[in-house]
A and B are shown apart, each in its own frame.
Chain A
Amino acid sequence: MTEYILAKYNFWIYVVLMMIGLYAMMGKRNLVKKLIGMNIFQTSIILLFVSAGVKKGGATVPILRHSDYGPEHVEHLIRVADYLNPLPHVLMLTAIVVSIATTGVALATLILIYKRYNTLEEDEIMAIRKDIRSYKTPRILRSKD
């Protein structure tokens, strides 16, 4: 059993991280915590992809050694098992950028929300919005007076 878990421990780590992130996104009531959960969630997927490209047995980073390239192309001499799989790395470079971009836009909306309601707790925002909809003085203004 332990061997079974250890053979694929990268997957277990990513599953745990992903569950933490997903729970933070859905269960937490603070908007910043939700955003942090989103980042954990995206990071777990990046880990999954990158771990798919790993090769055991002496493989190194996918940058060709000097002996493997030169003026005369020695393509047939390059051993595929010597280098890690480059494709997941490429995909994850894009995914990291996407994750940063999403975080940026989410932070921009958080700024808007904070300016508007003066809080980042979802429950308080809901209460304020309810006040606004029923034409009462919103809570933020009441507390200021």
Chain B
Amino acid sequence: MAAPETTNYCAGKKTNYKKTSLKKMIDQLPALIIVAPLLGAFLTPIIGWRYQHLCHPWTLLILTIPLYSAVGALLKVIRSGPFGYNLGGWAPPWGIEYRIDYLSAIMLVLIAAIGLLAAVNARPAGKTEFKGKEAQLYTLFLLQITGLLGIVITGDLFNIFVFLEITSLSGYGLIAHGEEGAPMATFNYIIIGTIGASFYLLGVGYLYMATGSLNIADLATLLPALYHSKIILVGFAFFTTGVAIKMGLFPLHIWMPDAYTTAPNSVSTLIAPLMTKVAAYLLIRILFTLFAPHFALSVIPLATILGWMAMIAIIVGGVKALAQTDIKRMVAYIMVAEVGYIVMGISVMNRAGLTGAILHIINDAWMIFCLFLTIGAISYRGHGREIYHFQNLSKKMPLTMAAFVIAALSMCGIPPACGFFSKWYLIMGMITAKQWIFAATLLCSSLINAVLFFRVIEKAYLAPPESMGHGHEDHEAENIERKDAPLSMMIPIIISALAILLLGLFSGKIIDVVIQHAVPAIF
């Protein structure tokens, strides 16, 4: 899409010089993905110093640049395969490089799109909840998105750590601004998150000591000779543990439900769908790009361990979610189970499983995003988050509830929505690997999700009008005030609901064009 447009523009100018300079500019697009939101974040407090109301449009303007560049990068990858970008012109093992392949390109588009929509969604909250602090809010939003994009785009292990910390620090700040228990949840998140990041750094250190390199592509060629070295084994263990903490995989998930429940709604909309997915991306990178796939399968039985942990995560997440009455906390526990899905898909180490895992990273980001958006909109209109507060909500907020239902159906795996397709591939992967217990767990979990969401949908759609029980006159039931979410919340809700349906309809195409190339060729 980006390329024809620019060539047309060149043809209009008709000067050869312009053509080459534009071509050069397009070569620099990958740099813009990070530089634009980072510089935007630096400038936001300056703008907010005098003109608080300009911060939101400014943020949106800035966030369109990474989205545009990310789409351009994805198209370039589809057209001509993975490419690198050397920062500062230093050759890779000495300098730092961006490495954009199929997987990172589609993750970039995902992060940029969800980031932009989450920033649109933050507008009403910025006007009320964060009154007078909009500049800081949007700065942290931009930094969060910069960090996430930076983790995905870079090809250097230490650089990943730096951007992981940018993401975490902005996340801590945003989450701690939430409701009553937020500072305590944040402090736990800081402690556990720092353990995770430090373990990751320790893994980098061990790999550095064994090989002397920090570049992922360089390490991938150096490591196979050392697969039986104990340093590599320990480094690998710390890598995986660190990433699992950031991802919220089962025994290490303790920080996640609290942090995402107590965070402000507009913030959990941004962080919850993306942070776990980017960590899952990192796990795929480590298992399949940094190390050869057979390392985690045969040298150490990590794949098996991950598989069983994922299974427990799915069960514990589902059961814990069933026990919740607060719907935001329920979604947070569902996320624990969803992380289990992704890890389970990775752990079976075959083509179908990994395709399912990558597809589920994308689909689940949109589903969780849509759920948090609707919950945010419902809270914004003054309705509570307990399930009984959902009584007759379908009449009060019909569009929001419709989006909620679409996301819920997708979570349960009902065909037109995207959740079905990723679960289909995941189950195919389990069957190919002959892991019948895992396949059964996946099916059970879909049933649990159906129960979970049916409780809410039943309250919202099928419950009798509130007045009936109290014996009031009937006209009061008709007078239920219909007040849907404000426009800036409605747009992201509608787009995310549409995205869930479209991702479902076009999942075959997405797999053909992108994901099948992202899966390592050995499978």
- Which residue numbers of A lie inside 8 Å of B, CB to CB? 22, 25, 31, 34-35, 38, 41-42, 45, 48-49, 52, 87-88, 91, 94-95, 98, 101-102, 105-106, 108-110, 112-113, 116, 125, 129, 132
Contacts and interface: CB of A to CB of B under 8 A. Distances in A.
Contacts of B58: none
A42 B183 CA distance: 22
Interface string B162-191: 100100110011001000110110110011
A102 B190 contact: yes
A31 to B, nearest CB: 6
B162 A116 contact: no
Given A94-B162, A106-B172, A116-B183, 20 more contacts: A38-B191, A41-B194, A41-B195, A41-B198, A48-B205, A87-B214, A94-B158, A98-B161, A98-B162, A101-B165, A102-B165, A102-B168, A108-B173, A108-B176, A109-B172, A109-B186, A112-B183, A113-B183, A116-B180, A129-B181
Contact of A125 (B184, B186, B190): B184
9 contacts: A42-B198, A45-B198, A101-B169, A105-B190, A106-B191, A108-B173, A109-B172, A109-B190, A113-B187
A129 B191 contact: no
A113 B181 CA distance: 9
B202 interface: yes
Interface in B315-349: none
B284 interface: no
B288 interface: no
A45 B190 contact: no
B208 interface: yes
A48 B202 contact: yes
B287 interface: no
Chain A interface mostly: helix
Which 3 residue pairs across A and B have the least CB separation, nearest first?
A: A112-B183, A113-B183, A98-B165
B165 to A, nearest CB: 5
Contact of A91 (B158, B176, B194, B195): B158
A49 B172 CA distance: 26
Nearest to A37: B191
Given A52-B205, A113-B183, A105 B162 contact: no
Given A110-B187, A129-B184, A105 B202 contact: no
B63 interface: no
B385 to A, nearest CB: 14
Q: Assign chain B's interface to a size class.
A: 20 to 34
B183 A105 contact: no
A87 B158 CA distance: 11
Given A22-B195, A45-B198, A105-B172, A31 B209 contact: no
Nearest to A39: B194
Given A38-B194, A49-B205, A105-B172, A31 B187 contact: yes
Interface of B: 158, 161-162, 165, 168-169, 172-173, 176, 180-181, 183-184, 186-187, 190-191, 194-195, 198, 201-202, 205, 208-209, 214
B261 to A, nearest CB: 13
Given A52-B205, A109-B172, A42 B187 contact: no
Contacts of A34: 187, 191
A106 B162 contact: no
Contacts of A113: 183-184, 187
Nearest to B201: A45
B328 to A, nearest CB: 15
Contacts of A110: 187
A125 B186 CA distance: 14
A125 B165 CA distance: 27
Given A52-B205, A129-B181, A109 B198 contact: no
A109 B181 CA distance: 11
B183 A106 contact: no
A95 B202 CA distance: 11
Nearest to B213: A87
- Tell which of B158, B186, B187 has the most Cβ of chain A within 10 Å: B187
A101 B193 CA distance: 14
Contacts of A41: 194-195, 198
Nearest to B204: A91
A53 B300 CA distance: 29
Nearest to B171: A105
A102 B194 contact: yes
A94 B156 CA distance: 14
